[in-house]
Amino acid sequence: MRQRCQGPGCAELLPEAGVRGGRPRRYCSERCRSSSRRFLALLDRCLARRGARLETMAEERHLLRSAAYTVANEARGLAAVLDAEAGRPGWEQPAWWDRARPELGRPGAPYTRAALELLEAAHLAVAAAVAADRAPGDGWAEIGAALGVSEDTAARRYRRAADTPPPDR
């Protein structure tokens, strides 16, 4: 049975094997052989880029998970303080006695400070989420729509040096 050329896009029949034996031909011409090698090299590069992208996606998801745990811990800590204070009588509530007293080393506005720490952790979580969405290739238009801002605003706020595409794209 005669074999066909293994070159990409070529289905030409190969000549019958000679009487002298030897290794069977795989390509009908040098051009098909070169084309096949170029195609396989391109496929290897694509697979390497895909593997690198999958590693980047896993790393970005890990950073997002860490940021989410930080937000949860900050919120849990603030809720625990508020729960502990809720059990006290009204005259022992910090609103009455925990005012700013620089001479005692007490900063003022403890609830506001705690809420700002929580907000900062949430901002870091949003930035990590944007990076995790960008890793597999989501565009700035989709991210901007999710954030409720324009595509340019989302890109301006969250673009990083690591967001540049790898070479050979």
State the 10-residue block means of pLDDT for the chain, 169 residues long. Answer: 82 78 81 90 85 83 90 89 78 59 63 86 92 88 93 89 46
The whole-model pTM stands at: 0.58
pLDDT of res. 167: 46
pLDDT of res. 3: 83
**Which pair of structure tokens corresponds to residue 129?**
């989420």
pLDDT of res. 78: 85
What is 90-102 written as a DSSP string? GGGSHHHH---BG
- Tell me the β-bridge partners of 13: 4
CA distances to 4, 22, 130 from 154, rounded to whole Å, are 53, 63, 9
pLDDT of res. 97: 54
Find, among 132, 150, 154, 155, the residue nearest to 59 by Cα: 132
Please name the residues in contact with 110: beta carbons below 8 A apart, sequence gap of 6 or more: 94, 98
pLDDT of res. 125: 92
Find, among 74, 63, 81, 65, the residue nearest to 116 by Cα: 74
pLDDT of res. 56: 83
